[in-house]
Amino acid sequence: MCKLKHIAVLTMVRNDDFFLRKWVEYYGSELGKENLYIYYDGEDQSIASFCEGTNVFSHPKIGTQVVSAEKERLRFLSEKAAELFDKGYDLVIGVDADEYIVADPKLNIGLREFLSQQKIDTSLSPLGLDFGQKLGEEDDLSMEETFLSQRHYAQIGTRYTKPSIIAKPCRWGSGFHRVKGHNFHIAQDLYLLHFGYADKKILEDRLGDKDRVAQGWEKHIYKRSRTIRYATEKKARNFDKYTRFARICQTWCRPPYALNKPAMFELRIVVKIPERFSNVL
């Protein structure tokens, strides 16, 4: 049996306690709450009580416009990740509060054990799954049940195949979408589940959030809300078959403007999540 690695996970959050609660619950269970590092973007926010036991900080608000603020946010988090390596961590995970990295339950091991078995030079990428809400079939997302017992459809998305797991100090690009100056490697049987656009009501609430609108997020939210339409309207494909195809495709295909990001010919493939995932998250 391999030695378990010392793993930290960090995020920066603003006005997103719904997903952050699940983030703390999930990563706390998988990695230990003492290894969670949370930075509230803006000292005007109150730190939620469910963060007790984590390493949580209030930070002065970063920027007012989405593009420039996002670059500064990732610069800041890259620096914090470097500090965590200095503290003795073997791996650092960087994700948004609505992103959850899971090992396929068919392996019957947790996230820490899975990552401890991986040989990682610079970074490791899970395969990205962007969850939507199938309108007419799936109700509003609730904290009373596991997310994966409520949401069953996801688009295989290159945007969420991110080098979120790093093994040494480096610089993430905006949104954790790439590691500057390095290639990426997509792990077998590892997935990043993105839930930020998996609920129509939460999206509507975000569009009513004056803070997000002032930062320029409105257009972005409208664009990404297509995930709900895809989940509702597109035929769902076999999960194991199409995730296997996507992993191969994204490994070998790259956009010409960013050779250290994955591509998939603009294919919009929706898969149905197998029942084996229902109690993971």
- Residue found under tokens 């991986």: 118
Q: pTM score, two decimals?
A: 0.93
Render pLDDT for 24-81 as a digit per residue (tens, 0 to 9).
Answer: 999 999 999 999 999 999 889 899 999 999 999 999 888 665 567 888 999 999 999 9
In CATH terms, 7-277 corresponds, of 1.10.357, 3.90.550, 1.10.3470, 2.60.40, to 3.90.550
Q: Please check whether residue 154 is in contact with residue 272, taking contact to mean a CB–CB distance below 8 angstroms.
A: no
Give the bridge partners for 129, in sequence order: 156, 193
Show me where the domains of the chain are located: 7-277
Q: Please check whether residue 36 is in contact with residue 65, taking contact to mean a CB–CB distance below 8 angstroms.
A: no
Give the bridge partners for 154, in sequence order: 131, 271
End-to-end, the C-alpha distance of the chain in Å comes to 26
Angle, vertex CA 122, rays to CA 128 and CA 280, nearest 5 = 35
Render pLDDT for 126-145 as a digit per residue (tens, 0 to 9).
Answer: 999 999 999 999 999 999 99
Residue 62: its pLDDT value, please?
Answer: 82
Residue 22 neighbours by CB distance under 10 Å: 19
- Residue found under tokens 């690009």: 173
> Could you give the CA distance from residue 83 to residue 89 in angstroms, rounded to a whole number?
9
Render pLDDT for 165-211 as a digit per residue (tens, 0 to 9).
Answer: 999 999 999 889 999 989 889 999 999 999 998 999 988 876 665 55
